[in-house]
Amino acid sequence: MTERTASIGVDVDSLRHYYRIHGLDEDSATNAAWRVGVPRFVELFEELGVAATFYCIAEDLEIEGNPARLRALAAAGHEIGNHTWHHRYDLTRLDGDARRAEVAEGQARLSAAAGVPVTGFRAPGYNVDAGL
């Protein structure tokens, strides 16, 4: 039998980040991505016997319950990826220091909260350039 290999990545983008992008009241956004979506993905991946990379936004750790959810993801064997500190869609337009801060602070906060090293990275909106 041939072994099949796949790379599975999940962007855990809370609604508040999209509300912010579109000028909506981000305080009215729910935490459904973390509260409902993440557990459903974990259950599905467990049934399939696969692990995934969950690209998380460090700012979401400010929401009650999310740090524990992040630790549970790592404990279940899933990789935690850095999706920046604030999920800035204009990341490629920021100066070098601001870009580095978004990535480095995201990585530091996620690693500390998850209790495991965070090595993967995915840019918000998949927007990258040579400087990133």
Render pLDDT for 70-106 as a digit per residue (tens, 0 to 9): 999 999 999 999 999 999 999 999 999 999 999 999 9
Query: Distance of CA 76 to CAs 11, 60, 93, Å?
Result: 17, 20, 36
Cα-trace Rg, the chain = 15
Helix (H) or strand (E) holding 5: none
- Cβ atoms of residues 48 and 85 within 8 Å: no
CATH class for the region spanning 9-126: alpha beta
**E strand map for the chain:** 9-12, 53-56, 79-82, 120-121
| Spans of all domains in the chain | 9-126
Render pLDDT for 25-41 as a digit per residue (tens, 0 to 9): 988 899 999 999 999 99
- Cβ atoms of residues 34 and 65 within 8 Å: yes
